[in-house]
């Protein structure tokens, strides 16, 4: 692998010093890829308008094609942060306007590109804010193929298009998960459940653990609580809570069971399944597992599985 700075007329920021990541990576075979530390792009999905595409200026790499706002990542920067930063710089995407749903990674060993697929939660109009764009447009999903696409995006689009139809959600049996660890939870059930909710917020799940495409998913999470745990208070207890200022991902909704928790879990599975979501139920209760399977759950995972993927 060889790293070389951009030549005249090649991508660079028009203002301020060049970031160390703004360089070409030259593979042993001779192909060149932009971004010393890899690159990332934002595939923003608006339910009414489609996806946000950038018409690349003629002098840029693969100029004249349509692709995603994105670019070189900074050293130590996460793909999500890099993709949103680049989209803000190139398309004026406002803070907290999108919520990551999943990522997809092209890993070529010497270089990688991460596509961050994100749902628009606060509609916005894109703004051309640097010289790399000729136009920015919301393009209906079914019309994307009609554009002359950037080769990299064009290769990835068929698989990404299929995954756009997947809306992943977890329905968590809070009592079962909390009760699976002998840590004194019985002395403060509400407190133990609140700590679980905090660990669930922004959960990232590897696609391989769920048997669905993509690299990492950020599912919607419904935490079903019952009994003494119904009184828990968390920063994201309500589905319509204020969206955090920057990069919200996933999110936890608290579902307070009026009676038995199992009944509320089954009802939540039925509601989300009718809405077309891919529902994964988290519980080690065998009887409940059978009931949610009948209710339409796509998958069931044990409390132990969830604890294994939660941040410590």
Using one digit for the tens of pLDDT, what is the confidence trace for 248-259? Answer: 455 788 999 988
Inter-residue contact 106 to 154 (CB < 8 Å): no
Tell me the fold of 168-309. Answer: Rossmann fold (3.40.50)
pTM, 2 dp: 0.84
CB atoms within 10 A of CB 89: 16
Confidence of residue 284 (pLDDT cuts 50, 70, 90): very high
Higher-confidence position of 233 and 303 = 303
Percentage with pLDDT > 70 across the chain:
88
Alpha-carbon separation of residue 85 from 11, 124, 258 (angstroms)? 16, 16, 43
Q: pLDDT at position 5, please?
A: 53
Alpha-carbon separation of residue 243 from 34, 239, 247 (angstroms)? 33, 10, 9
Kindly tell me if the per-residue pLDDT of 228 is higher than 90: no
Q: pLDDT at position 10, please?
A: 52
Q: What angle do CA 123, 124, 127 make, to 5 degrees?
A: 165
When pLDDT is averaged across residues 141-165 and rounded to a whole number, the result is 95
Q: pLDDT at position 9, please?
A: 43
* For the chain, domain boundaries: 7-163, 168-309
Kindly tell me if the per-residue pLDDT of 240 is higher than 80: no
Question: Which superfamily is assigned to 7-163 in CATH?
Answer: Nucleoside Triphosphate Pyrophosphohydrolase (3.90.79.10)
When pLDDT is averaged across residues 115-122 and rounded to a whole number, the result is 95
Kindly tell me if the per-residue pLDDT of 26 is higher than 60: yes
Q: What is the mean pLDDT of the chain?
A: 87
Least confident interval from 156-160, 186-190, 277-281:
186-190
Q: pLDDT at position 192, please?
A: 92
Confidence of residue 247 (pLDDT cuts 50, 70, 90): very low
Kindly tell me if the per-residue pLDDT of 241 is higher than 50: no
């Amino acid at each position: 692998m060889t790293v070389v700075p951009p030549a005249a007329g090649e991508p660079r920021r028009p203002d301020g010093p060049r970031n160390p990541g703004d360089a070409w990576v030259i593979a042993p075979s001779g192909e060149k890829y932009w971004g010393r530390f890899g690159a990332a792009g934002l595939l923003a999905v608006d339910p009414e308008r489609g996806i946000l595409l950038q018409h690349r200026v003629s002098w840029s790499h693969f100029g004249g094609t349509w692709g995603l706002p994105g670019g070189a990542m900074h050293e130590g920067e996460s793909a999500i942060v890099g993709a949103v930063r680049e989209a803000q710089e190139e398309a004026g995407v406002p803070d907290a306007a999108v919520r990551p749903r999943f990522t997809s990674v092209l890993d070529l060993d010497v270089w990688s590109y991460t596509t961050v697929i994100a749902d628009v939660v606060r509609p916005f109009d894109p703004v051309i804010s640097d010289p790399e764009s000729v136009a920015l447009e919301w393009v209906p999903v079914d019309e994307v193929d009609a554009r002359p696409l950037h080769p990299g995006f064009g290769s990835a689009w068929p698989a990404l298009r299929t995954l756009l139809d997947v809306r992943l959600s977890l329905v968590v049996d809070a009592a079962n998960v909390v009760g699976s660890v002998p840590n004194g939870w019985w002395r403060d059930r509400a407190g133990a459940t609140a700590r679980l909710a905090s660990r669930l917020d922004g959960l990232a799940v590897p696609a391989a653990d769920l048997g669905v495409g993509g690299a990492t998913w950020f599912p919607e999470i419904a935490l079903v609580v019952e009994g003494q745990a119904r009184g828990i208070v968390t920063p994201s207890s309500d589905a319509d809570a204020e969206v955090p200022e920057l990069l919200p991902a996933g999110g936890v909704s608290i579902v307070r069971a009026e009676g038995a928790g199992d009944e509320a879990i089954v009802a939540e599975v039925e509601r989300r399944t009718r809405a077309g979501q891919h529902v994964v139920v988290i519980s080690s209760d065998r009887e409940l597992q059978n009931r949610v399977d009948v209710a339409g759950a796509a998958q069931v995972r044990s409390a132990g599985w969830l604890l294994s993927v939660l941040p410590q």
